Amino acid sequence: YNKSLDQRKEIENAFKNNLFFCHLEDKYIRMLSGITTVKSFKKGETIIKEGEKAMGLYIVIEGIVKIYKISKDGKEHIIHIFGEGEIFAEVSLAENQTYPAWAEALTDVKIGFIPRDLILANLRKDPTLALAMIGVCILRLKNLVLSIENIKMKNARERTLFFLWEMTEKGKKSEVTFSITQNQLSLLLGITPETFSRIIKKLKEENIILKTSGNRKFILAIDKLKESLKR
């Protein structure tokens, strides 16, 4: 697979935007770029099917990807939303695995595909790369534990408040922008869209949400948000 210079730059930038790979020396970024194939998907297209043999992992170069499961009654449950620089389908690193969920393009997306055998060969050769990948897996596990804790131990309002607090980077900024719609956000939080809308309306009345721009940008009262989390 011959990549153009522009494609190599796109892939390298995606890895540089990743929390764990951004600190690596350029030689590692170039190596990862060399084994990554660029694929494009239109909004709504399926990237991964649940149950398919896991042949490799993916990194988002451009756009937004949702990971979801479908319950027996046909309902969709969003597990995670991934943006630029984020890696998914790392389950493929284990032997004889299938993809445990579906992946779909929420927008037009460009993603990098890294074949399992190639990434494993490089991980075996260099502990620096292996440690970066372990970091990705640990973060994913931590996020899953937090998601389960939120759904099982917090009510809908508490889940929303906790999510907003995380979006402010624990109070470091008052303005947050969402890359997905409020309907998709409600599904990610395990809340019905109607309940989520009522919660947002109530938070506006309480002046926790001070201002909205469209339905994807909120300006929050950090002190009030922090105080509401303590109740």
Tokens representing 26 are 């350029």
The model's pTM: 0.72
**What's residue 166's pLDDT?**
82
Q: Find tokens 């764990």 and name the residue.
A: 20
By the 8 A CB rule, do 1 and 101 touch?
no
> How many whole angstroms separate alpha carbon 55 and alpha carbon 226?
43
DSSP letters for 130-190: HHHHHHHHHHHHHHHHHHHHHHHHS-HHHHHHHHHHHHTTTTT-SEEE-SS-HHHHHHHTT
Tell me how far the alpha carbon of residue 199 is from its chain's centroid: 24
pLDDT in tens, 22-79: 888 899 899 999 999 999 999 999 999 999 999 999 999 999 899 999 888 888 888 8
- Which of 106, 99, 65 is closest to 82 using CA atoms? 65
Average pLDDT over residues 205-225: 89
175 pLDDT above the threshold of 70 = yes
> How many whole angstroms separate alpha carbon 78 and alpha carbon 27?
36
Higher-confidence residue of 210 and 96: namely: 210
> How many whole angstroms separate alpha carbon 122 and alpha carbon 118?
6
Name the β-bridge partners of 48. 103
Residue 231 half-sphere exposure toward CB, CA atoms < 13 A = 9
